Structure 1
Amino acid sequence: MTSRFVPPAGAPRVLATAQLAGSFGDGAFLVCSALFFIRVVGMSPGQIGVGLTIAWAIGSFAGVPLGALADRRGPRGTAILLAVATAGSVGAFLTVRSFLPFVLVACLYASFQSGLGAARQALLAGLVEPDRRTEARAYMQSTANAGLAIGAALGGLTLQFDTEGAYLAIFAVDAVAFLVTGVVLTRLPSVAPAPPTAGGEPRLAVLRDRPYAVLTLINTVMLLYMPMLSLVMPLWVVERTDAPRWLVSAMLVINTVCVVLFQVRIARGVTGLRSATRFVRLAGLVMLACCAVFALSAYGASAWPTALILLAGVVLQVVGEMFLAAGAWEISFGLAPDRQQGQYQGFFGMGIPLARMLGPVLLTTLVMGWGAPGWLVLGVVFLAAGLAMAPAVRWAERTRSGSLSLLPEATPVDSSRIPAVPLTDAP
């Protein structure tokens, strides 16, 4: 019987293995990259922030045409090519010694990463039966978190050395990790590219799909939990509470461990669009409760009661995160035409870089500026977005009964015919 930690044999296991390799490299890279550019290259934190904002703005939009390329040329070959291109962009960071080259390479890195995510999602849609896609995506998310945690630990060790050679070694590790991702993806069978578009049909149909755009916008609002956890919570703990500072690290560890342990189990509760919208609605309710608990921490009488309140809040946060992920995956796949999964997944995936780009300014202004009332306002925003998902999904379903449902669908691939690849066989 398949363990809840090891994906089923075949396409889900290969995809999760590829995800593990890439996220391991990214975990090490993300921990060390900022200090490398500050200490070795001599850039300022402001320059890094501006460069990354530009890069992820461009990268968020690049995912759509690169996803469409995966539809036209086949997602397997496109994903392998983009994994290699990502490795090359990471390797190019080794030569960066000033601001403008940094921005250029960062734009390539963000664009290839976004395209790789879209192609990988299209590959999953082509190789896994519709009723198993959300579960397979949950395995990928679980292994991604595990890889990030292990890579971050390696990056933390590198920070202790704090030498140019150590930082460059981490960049090389990340580049090799993406090459390994490409090698692992070669173990999957090809998925036939989508047939040519009919005369008059737009190449990037997703850009004219208003219901899907609304779904993406709602998901982007819900994804504000990411900068909330990574940026606002550390600032809140340090500046607005008496809790010990090490609690910031403990909260991030709790989040990672919970996703690794429970994301797959929660995702199995999503069996279609109805349950998916219910999960997103629950995510909004739980996020509201989470924000209310965080607001309460401002009134903690002493360090340890405040710490317990914050830990309760982060548990609610990760529960809401897992509900949201499971529901959003099902919605993003279920309402995208099968032959256009690449461009649709690229469009839906824009929510992640947009939330990371816009969230810091919005949330620091709201929460750090307004304090506890700001937390409550943020919670209401999460609740409103969660409640809005159901009518948006119904609107999208009605449009699928029209023009989009008439589009020919790609022939699904029977994933039972894909050879089993043990998780430990990844190179």
Structure 2
Amino acid sequence: MKKSFVPPSGPPRTLAVAQLISRTGDGAYYVTAALFFTTVAGLSPGQLGLGLTIAWTVALVVGVPLGHLADRTGVRRSAVVFFVCASLAVGSYLFVRSFPLFVLSASLYAVAQRSGSAAQQALLAGVVPKEQITHVRAVLQASYNAGLSVGAALGGIVLLFDTRGAYLAAFALNSAAFAVAAFVLWRVPSVPPSPAPPKGEKPQPVYKDRPYVAISLLNLVLVLHVPLIDVALPLWIVGRTEAPPWVLSVMFIINTLAVVAFQVRVARGVTGLTSAARYVVRGALLLGASCVVFAFSGSGGSAWSAVLLLVAAAVVQTMGEMVQMAGTWEISFGLAPDGKHGQYQAFFGTGLTVAEIVGPLALTGLLVYWGTPGWILLGGLFVAAGLATTPVVRWGERALAARDAASGTRTLGVSDDTLVKD
């Protein structure tokens, strides 16, 4: 199989196009949302923060039940429905001018976005051959970042104009992008719904799959690098280093473009669960090393020395992110039973949701107020979570093999030595 940035024709390419379109709208939304809600919608910063926290908490609570519903009703249909709901939610922002309505719209958006993403991942598992899963997932991640980059550039133009009409146009773009992405997803072949369990047999929910719960908790620690970039680093740069604020833009560009250019190439080494666990360990070590470099950026000296250290740390952190994510994608699919990918991907995705809810407060206290020791502790947490991944994956493989032996079925997990080399 020839691997390149362009995904294989058919369903993988359609999924990548849907990802690119939807995330272009999201990129414009992320750049302009805070100013829109506080200057156009009339919310206070406190109301904005509280409303978003409520919204993502709702998404966290209903994510797994909706994932299970997607498995039973069809993941393609569910993905399309969730994307349409996301379009309607963002469109409703154009008319929201009160806090209760904002909470309602934001909750619908958070639920639709998270559940739509889980259904999309389950759809990927149903239409892409096993040996292509990680490669196609890497292409989707590159499409994700490419869309965010284009959308962020469009959002920058909106900020340049800084008018009510420009902000409304950005939100209208995001709403339209989700609607178009839903139409594109409908062109992906349908995946049969998972059958109901035999009469009298109680289905096992993901919560009772202890190895999968453990690997999801480890992933929660590892994805703390997401709020690290979004929230903690800007405060660290301004409050603890001599570097100018514009260095944050440079770091964001490095991260985004590197993922677009290199994520697919990085993921080529993941050929099964064993190599995936090795990748997570390597990624965690790189994330830990980046924390050490970030810590040194606040040690004083000139502004340019701080800039160089911050940029170097951003490069190491981005490498760690790409390597770690390539491994966790394979693990999240490989340890999930057939017919339950909607439920399992929804549960695995709750790690990112929890990180986005508690991460800003936790990382701000750890890094901005505690300083260098906080960075070292965070790096140690990354490394510990990475090292723990290997035994947990082996535990999950044994549990999955036992279930397969009992049911006489095979799952998505692919052993490294069963793959046909290119």
Structure 1 length normalisation: TM-score? 0.93
Q: Are 1:50 and 2:45 matched, yes or no? A: no
**Residue deviations 1:277-298, cap 9 Å, x none?**
0011111111111001011111
Task: Measure, in 1, the Cα distance between the counterparts of 2:202 and 2:324.
Answer: 31
1:159 corresponds to: 159
- Aligned residue-pair number: 412
State the 1:165 CA deviation.
1.8
Q: Are 1:34 and 2:37 matched, yes or no? A: no
Task: Measure, in 2, the Cα distance between the counterparts of 1:363 and 1:324.
Answer: 20
State the 1:405 CA deviation.
5.3
**Residue deviations 1:169-211, cap 9 Å, x none?**
1111111101111111122111111111223444561122121
Q: Are 1:301 and 2:294 matched, yes or no? A: no
State the 1:63 CA deviation.
2.2
**Which letter maps to 1:156?**
G
Q: Any stretches of 5+ residues in structure 2 without a counterpart?
A: 413-422
Task: Measure, in 2, the Cα distance between the counterparts of 1:7 and 1:75.
Answer: 21
Q: Is the 8 A contact 1:339 1:409 kept in 2?
A: no
What secondary structure sits across from 2:340 in the alignment? Answer: helix
State the 1:59 CA deviation.
0.8
Q: 1:116 to 1:409 in 2, by over 3 A?
A: farther
1:348 corresponds to: 348
**Which letter maps to 1:301?**
G
Q: Are 1:110 and 2:115 matched, yes or no? A: no
What are the equivalent positions in structure 2 for 1:334-413 lying under 5 Å apart? 334-403=334-403, 406-407=406-407
State the 1:37 CA deviation.
1.0
What secondary structure sits across from 1:394 in the alignment? Answer: helix
Structure 2 length normalisation: TM-score? 0.94
Greater mean deviation of Cα atoms: 114-123 or 394-403: 394-403
Q: Is the 8 A contact 2:336 2:411 kept in 1?
A: no
Task: Measure, in 2, the Cα distance between the counterparts of 1:34 and 1:44.
Answer: 10
State the 1:408 CA deviation.
6.7
Q: Is the 8 A contact 1:67 1:345 kept in 2?
A: yes
What are the equivalent positions in structure 2 for 1:207-226 lying under 5 Å apart? 207-226=207-226
Task: Measure, in 2, the Cα distance between the counterparts of 1:255 and 1:304.
Answer: 20
What secondary structure sits across from 2:297 in the alignment? Answer: helix
2:329 corresponds to: 329
Task: Measure, in 1, the Cα distance between the counterparts of 2:408 and 2:104.
Answer: 39
Q: Are 1:243 and 2:243 matched, yes or no? A: yes
1:195 corresponds to: 195
1:141 corresponds to: 141
State the 1:404 CA deviation.
5.7
Q: Any stretches of 5+ residues in structure 1 without a counterpart?
A: 413-427
Q: Is the 8 A contact 2:223 2:351 kept in 1?
A: yes
What secondary structure sits across from 1:401 in the alignment? Answer: helix
Q: Is the 8 A contact 1:28 1:148 kept in 2?
A: yes
1:99 corresponds to: 99
Q: Are 1:10 and 2:17 matched, yes or no? A: no
What secondary structure sits across from 1:5 in the alignment? Answer: coil
Q: Are 1:315 and 2:318 matched, yes or no? A: no
Task: Measure, in 2, the Cα distance between the counterparts of 1:138 and 1:18.
Answer: 15
Task: Measure, in 2, the Cα distance between the counterparts of 1:408 and 1:18.
Answer: 35
**Which letter maps to 1:310?**
L
Task: Measure, in 2, the Cα distance between the counterparts of 1:154 and 1:287.
Answer: 30
Q: Is the 8 A contact 1:27 1:147 kept in 2?
A: yes
2:282 corresponds to: 282
Q: Is the 8 A contact 2:3 2:135 kept in 1?
A: no
**Which letter maps to 1:9?**
S
1:425 corresponds to: none
Task: Measure, in 1, the Cα distance between the counterparts of 2:28 and 2:406.
Answer: 46
State the 1:301 CA deviation.
1.7
State the 1:334 CA deviation.
0.2
Q: Is the 8 A contact 1:339 1:408 kept in 2?
A: no
Q: Are 1:260 and 2:267 matched, yes or no? A: no
What secondary structure sits across from 1:193 in the alignment? Answer: coil
Task: Measure, in 1, the Cα distance between the counterparts of 2:129 and 2:13.
Answer: 14
Task: Measure, in 2, the Cα distance between the counterparts of 1:407 and 1:347.
Answer: 23
Q: Is the 8 A contact 1:124 1:133 kept in 2?
A: yes
Q: 1:405 to 1:206 in 2, by over 3 A?
A: farther
Q: Is the 8 A contact 2:243 2:304 kept in 1?
A: yes
Q: 1:103 to 1:136 in 2, by over 3 A?
A: same
1:419 corresponds to: none
Task: Measure, in 2, the Cα distance between the counterparts of 1:404 and 1:48.
Answer: 47
Identity %: 52
State the 1:236 CA deviation.
1.1
What secondary structure sits across from 1:199 in the alignment? Answer: coil
Task: Measure, in 2, the Cα distance between the counterparts of 1:204 and 1:56.
Answer: 26
Select the structure with the greater relative contact order (CA < 8 A; seq sep ≥ 6).
Answer: 1
Task: Measure, in 1, the Cα distance between the counterparts of 2:2 and 2:324.
Answer: 24
**Which letter maps to 1:234?**
P
**Residue deviations 1:72-123, cap 9 Å, x none?**
1111111111111111111111121111111111111101111101110110
Task: Measure, in 2, the Cα distance between the counterparts of 1:22 and 1:201.
Answer: 40
**Which letter maps to 1:278?**
R
**Residue deviations 1:374-401, cap 9 Å, x none?**
1001100100000111111111122112
Task: Measure, in 2, the Cα distance between the counterparts of 1:142 and 1:365.
Answer: 32
2:205 corresponds to: 205
1:180 corresponds to: 180
What secondary structure sits across from 1:175 in the alignment? Answer: helix
1:416 corresponds to: none
Task: Measure, in 1, the Cα distance between the counterparts of 2:8 and 2:137.
Answer: 12
Task: Measure, in 2, the Cα distance between the counterparts of 1:408 and 1:40.
Answer: 58
**Which letter maps to 1:119?**
A
Task: Measure, in 2, the Cα distance between the counterparts of 1:243 and 1:354.
Answer: 30
Task: Measure, in 1, the Cα distance between the counterparts of 2:405 and 2:376.
Answer: 41
Task: Measure, in 2, the Cα distance between the counterparts of 1:5 and 1:167.
Answer: 33
State the 1:4 CA deviation.
2.8
Q: 1:346 to 1:204 in 2, by over 3 A?
A: farther
